Structure formats: structure tokens, C-alpha cells
């Protein structure tokens, strides 16, 4: 299913929970993300925008999170990292709270993964942890589509070390889904005969 269709279904689902203004803000976040990720592709060859749309859809459809700021943050979670858009611009286009969550979700090169995730978890009241876990879950779901075996091994390792414990503290459903995806990835790499 294309990202436009996933987003259409997402907005139809949100229409039962959000005001027209909130729905318009989510639409604007989608357009900003689509523009920011224009021309970018994922390992599996799909347009990059499909990933943040799936993250937002998981948040809403699987976890029942209808907070418009978190849905916008899910759509925008990679724009600072992958484009010229700044935290300040997100605050201007949306609000300070959305910008804060997107900034928390932005992995800076000079910050270790452990410190990055610790900062996200410490800001639990913002809702950033559940968005980050949906981000990792989506990446795990499509991990076996990656042609890069080293990346698959790294994702398995970092998920077990950092993300599973975080999921165990945050949301049982996400924890269980991650376990399933890790097992699928393990079977995949064994089938490839990789070390």
C-alpha cells in the first residue's frame, strides 16, 4: 500500500477523534515531512516518507494514541535529521511542544544511542518515548527488506540492548511486537547464512 493511501486511512481514522483544526495541522505535518524527505529513499527502495507515515499510523491504529501533537511529531520525527528544517521552524509552523518532541527524537551524531534514548525516556511526559518505540518497531518490521546484512545485525543488537528494555517499561504491546520482529530478523539472517 502506498503512503498516500496509508495517510488517507490515517486521516479518516483521526477524523472521528480530532477537530477540523487539529486534522488540518496533521495534514500540514504530512506536507512538511513529504517535502523534507522528497527524493530520499529507504534501503528497501521505497520513498522515505512511507516510514514516518507508517509510524504515525502505528501510533493511532495500534496504540490508540490520538494526541495531534504526537501524530505530527511521528510524521516529522526525521525532518531535522534528514533536511534543512530546524527546531525553530517546526515551532513556528506548529508549536513549541511539537518542536520539543521532534527535537528529542532527533539523533545527533555526537550523542551516544544510550544517552539519546535516556533523554527521550526522561522526557516521558512529552510522549516522545512511545513515538520513538513506534519508529523502531516500523524499522524492525521492514528490516529484512534491507540488502545490508550488517545493518540487520546492528538493529537486532541495539534493539535487544536498548529498545526492548525501554519497551518493557513503556508499552507491553510494542514490546511483544518487537520480540516477534526480532525473531523474524534472526530467522532471516540464519537463512542467509550470515555470522
Query: How confident is the model over 51-65, as pLDDT tens digits?
Result: 999 999 999 999 999
Task: Assign 1 a pLDDT band (cuts: 50, 70, 90).
Answer: confident
Task: Assign 44 a pLDDT band (cuts: 50, 70, 90).
Answer: confident
**Is the model's pLDDT at 194 over the cut of 70?**
no
Q: What is the CA radius of gyration of the chain?
A: 16
Catalytic residue among 62, 81, 121, 179: 81
Residue 127 contacts residue 67 (beta carbons within 8 Å): yes
C-alpha cell of residue 185 = 530478523
Q: What is the pTM (predicted TM-score) of this model?
A: 0.95
Q: Is 135 a catalytic residue?
A: no
Instruction: Give the model confidence (pLDDT) of 121-169 as tens digits.
Output: 999 999 999 999 999 999 999 998 888 889 999 999 999 999 999 999 9
Q: Is 138 a catalytic residue?
A: no
Percent of the chain predicted with pLDDT > 70 = 99
**In angstroms, how far is CA 15 from the centroid of its own chain?**
21
Which stretches of the chain are assigned E, i.e. beta strand? none
Over residues 18-41, mean pLDDT: 97
Task: Assign 195 a pLDDT band (cuts: 50, 70, 90).
Answer: low
Rounded CA separation 135/142 (Å): 11
Amino acid 189: pLDDT: 85
Instruction: Give the model confidence (pLDDT) of 99-127 as tens digits.
Output: 999 999 999 999 999 999 999 999 999 99
With 0-12 / 13-18 / 19 or more C-beta atoms within 10 angstroms meaning exposed / middle / buried, residue 13 is middle
Amino acid 125: pLDDT: 97
Which stretches of 86-160 are assigned E, i.e. beta strand? none
Catalytic residue among 17, 62, 82, 179: 82
**Four-way CATH pick for 3-192: 3.20.20.80, 3.40.50.2300, 3.50.50.60, 1.10.3210.10:** 1.10.3210.10
Amino acid at each position: 500500500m502506498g503512503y498516500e493511501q496509508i495517510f488517507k486511512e490515517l486521516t479518516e481514522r483521526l477524523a472521528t477523534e480530532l477537530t477540523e483544526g487539529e486534522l488540518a495541522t496533521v495534514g500540514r505535518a504530512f506536507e512538511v515531512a513529504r517535502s523534507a524527505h522528497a527524493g530520499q529513499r529507504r534501503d528497501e527502495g521505497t520513498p522515505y516518507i512511507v516510514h514516518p507515515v507508517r509510524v504515525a499510523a502505528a501510533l493511532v491504529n495500534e496504540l490508540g494514541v490520538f494526541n495531534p501533537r504526537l501524530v505530527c511529531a511521528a510524521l516529522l520525527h526525521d525532518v531535522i535529521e534528514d533536511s534543512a528544517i530546524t527546531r525553530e521552524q517546526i515551532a513556528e509552523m506548529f508549536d513549541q511542544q511539537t518542536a520539543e518532541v521532534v527535537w528529542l527524537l532527533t539523533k545527533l551524531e555526537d550523542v551516544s544511542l544510550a544517552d539519546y534514548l535516556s533523554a527521550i525516556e526522561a522526557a516521558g511526559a512529552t510522549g516522545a518515548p512511545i513515538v520513538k518505540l513506534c519508529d523502531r518497531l516500523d524499522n524492525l518490521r521492514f528490516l529484512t527488506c534491507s540488502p545490508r546484512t550488517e545493518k540487520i545485525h546492528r538493529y537486532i543488537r541495539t534493539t535487544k540492548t536498548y529498545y526492548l528494555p525501554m519497551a518493557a517499561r513503556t508499552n507491553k504491546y510494542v514490546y511483544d511486537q518487537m520480540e516477534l520482529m526480532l525473531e523474524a530478523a534472526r530467522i532471516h539472517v540464519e537463512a542467509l547464512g550470515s555470522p
